Amino acid sequence: MIDSQISHYLDVLKNRNFAKLWVSQITSQLTNYILSFAILIKVFELTNSTISVSLIIMAFGVATLFFGSLAGVYADRFDRRWLLTIINFGQALSIALYFLVGDDFWGLVLITFLYSSLNQFYIPAEAPSIPRLVKENQILIANSFFAFTNSAALIIGFAAAGPMSSAFGHAAPYTVGVGLLVVAGLATMSLPSLKPPVVHENPYSFSKIWHEFKEGIAHFWENSRLHYPLVSLIAIQIINGMMITIAPAFMKEAIGINLDTGSIFIVAPLGIGILIGAALLGFEERFLSKRQLVRMGFLGMGTMLVGLSLIGLVDFKYVYYSFFGLLIGYFNAHIFAPSHSMLQTHAHEHLRGRIYGALYVMLQVAATLPTIIIGVLADVLPIASMAAILGGLLLLYGLLDPVYQRR
């Protein structure tokens, strides 16, 4: 049984075109995490305020609101191979702006906004390309690979950002990021054509773009099988965004770890947990439905966050954090890959880009106020109590799922 399951994973990896997309995902995500952590830590050091960290995260959000509705439509209009390639090289140029603005706070906000603006076009072009490159029965495994390497990039990126800056200067993460994105661009450039199945006339007409964006929203609204994965992805992204907002303060105040050199000790348990969870998904799918896997993720992650909030009661804080962090990561993996797999399976092929574009617009609309609130609360309340609040929200979502399912 185990040998058979391993062969299924290897079959996906033998697909050279999927491997190229995977290389782009690895390098672009590694860049994302290296830069995100470097910028967040630098902003926290400059201002010593979680609210300022919230502003950086909001810069990502503003880009989503400006371009999210357009991005999904364009992902369904143009060859996704060239969209991914142009975006990878464009993001490399946006990161290179650091060498002009330096460590200026508003300069970092500008880089974040430009990088995120381009990322809005990358996301709805990348994820919907997976079903074009693998067989339908391989979609969950393919998404598991993406979740797996996303976690590896999380570990390496967050762990390397602080020491890299300390050893080679604050410009080092940006130099590495430019190089990685060039590799990503070269990988996607060699993909086969990923043209949409429906050819559109006058692709630059704003009225047509807006009409097609609304068409994607209507498809989501009318297709009940898309509701649960979309809402689940929005919910977990909001919680993850709030966790990132409080992460620097939690490291410093709750665990007592140096922000520059200790990042690996924070990220490693979370990332290893996600790696384990993603690796086991293909096996667990034999016994549980995708929806059950997602619900298991919400309930398990919520319980672990509530447990983590009690860290102030123990002396061996890092050991305590490592245990709960590992399980938080494990359950987190059970939300993303199954939700994306359901979304890609049930959405119409010619609407997938719009569905993903709409997903991230709805995500940002929903996440804006909570991100601000958590930043304000983290500056006035004990930081560990924030984990209890986030855990309670996840538990509530998981417990309400059976009620919604019976409707």
State both tokens at 313: 């009661």
Most confident of 105-109, 152-156, 207-211: 105-109
Is pLDDT at 198 greater than 70 in this prediction?
no
Find the mean pLDDT for residues 366-392: 74
Mean pLDDT, to the nearest integer, of 222-227? 74
Domain 13-402 belongs to what topology?
A: Growth Hormone; Chain: A; (1.20.1250)
**60, 65, 67, 69 alpha-carbon torsion, rounded to 10°:** 140
- Where do the structural domains in the chain lie, given as residue ranges? 13-402
Q: In which band, very low, low, confident or very high, does the pLDDT at 108 lie, cut at 50, 70 and 90?
A: confident
pLDDT per position as a tens digit, 79-104:
888 889 999 999 999 999 888 887 77
Average pLDDT over residues 176-203: 80
Mean pLDDT in residue range 214-225: 68
For the chain, the distance separating the N- and C-terminal CA atoms, rounded to the nearest angstrom, is 37
All residues at 6 or more sequence positions from 12 whose CB lies less than 8 Å from its CB, including other chains: 18, 134, 138, 141, 142, 145
Is 50 exceeded by the pLDDT of residue 1? no
- What local confidence, expressed as pLDDT, does residue 402 receive? 67
Measured CA to CA, the distance from residue 282 to residue 140 in angstroms comes to 7
pLDDT digits (tens, 9 = 90+) for 6-39: 676 777 778 888 889 989 999 998 998 888 878 8
Q: What is the mean pLDDT of residues 181-207?
A: 74
Using the 8-state DSSP alphabet, how is residue 315 labeled? S
How much is the average pLDDT of 364-372? 66
With contact defined as beta carbons under 8 Å apart, do 215 and 349 qualify? no
What's at 58, amino acid-wise?
M
pLDDT > 90? residue 192? no
- Tell me the mean pLDDT in the region 366-375: 67
Query: Helix, strand, coil % (nearest 5) of the chain?
Result: 85, 0, 15
pTM: 0.66
pLDDT score for 324: 92
pLDDT at 149: 79
Least-confidence region, from 137-141, 276-280, 321-325: 137-141
User: Does the pLDDT value for residue 247 go beyond 50?
Assistant: yes
Specify the pLDDT at position 212.
64
Confidence of residue 331 (pLDDT cuts 50, 70, 90): very high
Judged against a pLDDT cut of 70, whether residue 358 lies above it is answered with no
Side-chain half-sphere exposure of 296, counting CA atoms within 13 A? 19
Contacts with 287 (C-beta within 8 Å, 6 or more apart), sequence order: none
- Residue 276 vs residue 261, higher pLDDT: 276
Distance CA 403, CA 50 (A): 36
| pLDDT average, residue stretch 311-338 | 87
Q: How far apart are CA 147 and CA 271, in angstroms?
A: 10
